Structure 1
Amino acid sequence: MEYIAIIFGAIFINNIIFAQFLGICPFLGVSSRLSTATGMGAAVLFVMTLATLVTYLIHDLVLMPLGLHFLVTVAFILVIASLVQFVEIVLKKIAPPLYQALGIFLPLITTNCAILGVALLVLQKGFSFGESVVFAAATALGFTLALVLMAGIRERLELADVPKRMQGGPITLITAGLLSLAFMGFSGMM
């Protein structure tokens, strides 16, 4: 039951974009097309889960035993950047079609604050190893859901009769605000 609460909470109630306000840059930048939003979501799912798994282990097996807790942020940033580069190299060698499909998304993930935010939130919430992995995957699914919803709306807005001064950025920000309000409706469910 606890895992279900973590999953539902991470996807809907405490959505990383709409409630935590992490990952806003890729949310606004990559959500113009449904195909790019889906690709970015898949890449974030993979990297966020893997990065949380690795940073959790580094925290518990290296930093805490050596009394280096104050280096958590710096260590996590280095681990996430290295991990993304390693994954990019491995995918390029082992699975070129997957590497081509992810394209520019892997390097973009290095600068996505949601990845570091989830790694730090796991520590702050005191999750176990299993709960951390489930939380990371569910948070990435929530991120993907937000991206896909926004991309679908933005594609429809291109066909709509939006006033000239509202086109582009203004209507995107208004839409993001309305989506955020819609997700607030889930807050009383758990």
Structure 2
Amino acid sequence: MVEKALFAIFMEGVFIKNFLLIQFLGLCSFVGVTKDVKSAAGMSGAVIFVMAMAASVSYFLYTYILEPAKMEFLGLISFIVVIAALVQLVEFVVRKNIPALYRSLGIYLPLITTNCAVLGVVLLNVLSEYNFLQSLTFGVAAGFGYTIVMLMMAGIRERSTLVNIPSSVRGLPQAFIIATMLSMAFVNYFWVIPI
């Protein structure tokens, strides 16, 4: 198997396989936290950390414990435990050091544990048979891709409060319309770029 260059993996994680707009994973926080840029940035920072650490820890867990012991079937549950532990760490640090951000994120911060985008990074790393550096690169790239989309969505939603929008479209319908347009832009632009 020919190994992919780290740059190609990074671009793939950020744009080509963007978890929010291409694969539609992690949409709960995408819709719930993007009402303002500050909350979106805080959530994105937490997700980048959890994705990068989950990719790293899960690589070692799978490669050096589960595979040699022929217990690959425990991969999914092991990955969920790793992600849950990392989210608890992030929640503790944010609550202790940035209480305003902790309050603004509300229930969405502990929901990173069940964010399928984080689990998707780990599972795609295993399926792609990435080595440690590739796994870490893909985890960080997926986090950056998540951040770019979250900040774009939050910026658009903040600016749209200045526009007269019919009441039947405000809120969740408006968020889905914006998400649809962003997704179409990503698909139409980034899928034509060969990597």
TM-score, structure 1 length as denominator?
0.91
Counterpart pick for 1:177 among 155, 176, 180: 180
C-alpha RMSD of matched pairs (Å): 1.8
Which SS does the other structure have where 2:40 is aligned?
helix
Residue identity over aligned pairs, in percent, reads 42
Residue 53 (structure 2) pairs with residue 50 (structure 1): yes
2 CA distance for matches of 1:56 and 1:182? 33
Number of the residue aligned with 2:99: 100
1 CA distance for matches of 2:148 and 2:171? 21
Note the alpha carbon deviations across 1:106-165, whole angstroms, 9 max, x for none.
423112111111000101111111000000001000001110000000011111111121
Which SS does the other structure have where 1:65 is aligned?
coil
Aligned in 2, Cα 1:50/1:168: closer, same or farther, shift over 3 Å?
A: same
Return the offset for 1:40: 0.4
**Structure 2 regions of 5+ residues with no counterpart?**
none
2 CA distance for matches of 1:102 and 1:119? 27
1 CA distance for matches of 2:101 and 2:52? 16
1:27 corresponds to which letter in structure 2? F
1:186 corresponds to which letter in structure 2? F
1 CA distance for matches of 2:100 and 2:170? 30
1 CA distance for matches of 2:168 and 2:29? 24
Q: Which runs of 4+ in 1 moved over 6 A?
A: none
Judge conservation of contact 2:19–2:145 (CA < 8 Å) in 1: yes
Aligned in 2, Cα 1:23/1:134: closer, same or farther, shift over 3 Å?
A: same
Aligned in 2, Cα 1:102/1:115: closer, same or farther, shift over 3 Å?
A: farther
Counterpart pick for 2:112 among 106, 109, 112: 109
Number of the residue aligned with 1:27: 30
Which SS does the other structure have where 2:148 is aligned?
helix
